[in-house]
Amino acid sequence: MLAIATYGERILGQAAQPVQLFDEPLAALAEKMLDTMKLAQGVGIAAPQVGQGIRLFIMASHPNDRYPDAPLMAPQVVINPQILQRSGKMLTGEEGCLSLPGERVQILRHESIEVRYQDLSGEWQQEWLQGFVARIFQHEYDHLEGLTLVERLE
């Protein structure tokens, strides 16, 4: 279980650095982040939130009381992500953040996005995401840019 940085801690306001080495320590960090996210009952977590200023996050959509029809997906480790295309359509939805315990805010996000990222083995993946999964990706991507929900309030 890793300590989760809370709003105001410097690392949450900094842009994270690209991942170069897909080595054992990286896999170990991802494993610890997954455990931390599960214990905190989140649907995602970004490396800066656990004090690591690198471009890595985990997204793990599952049905929850705010998004009962959210897809159940195996946790996905996303490394060096890029957002290639953003839909014109935007949707407002409720979000929370493990770094802002107890906060729930309405945030405007693109309904669908085309993304490209590396997995833990360094393989590039490219896909379109929509709905809640696209929302999680955009939320975690913001963390890599040093942005939190506070900066996103309409």
Stretch that binds Zn ion, among 35-43, 66-74, 82-90, 94-102 (CB under 5 A): 94-102
**From CA 34, how far away is CA 94, in angstroms rounded?**
22
List 55, 67, 115, 141, residue binding ligand K3U (CB under 6 A): 67
Q: Is residue 140 flagged as an active site residue?
A: yes
Task: Please tell me which residue in 111, 114, 127, 140 is annotated as part of the active site.
Answer: 140
List 56, 113, 136, 144, residue binding ligand K3U (CB under 6 A): 136
Per the CB < 8 A criterion, the answer to whether 33 and 45 are in contact is yes
- Comparing CA positions, the residue from 142, 83, 88, 141 lying closest to residue 115 is 83
Q: Which is nearer to ligand K3U, 103 or 119 (CB)?
A: 103
Specify the DSSP class assigned to residue 47: G
Q: Which is nearer to ligand K3U, 45 or 129 (CB)?
A: 45
- Comparing CA positions, the residue from 116, 145, 122 lying closest to residue 20 is 122
Stretch that binds ligand K3U, among 12-20, 27-35, 89-97, 110-118 (CB under 6 A): 89-97
Verify binding: residue 139, ligand K3U, rule CB under 6 A: yes
AA identity, residue 135: R
- Comparing CA positions, the residue from 103, 83, 72 lying closest to residue 145 is 83
Per the CB < 8 A criterion, the answer to whether 7 and 142 are in contact is no
140 binds, among ligand K3U, Zn ion, none (CB under 5 to 8 A by kind): ligand K3U
Q: Which residues are catalytic?
A: 140
Interface residues with ligand K3U (CB under 6 A) are 42-45, 49, 64, 66-67, 94-99, 104, 135-136, 139-140
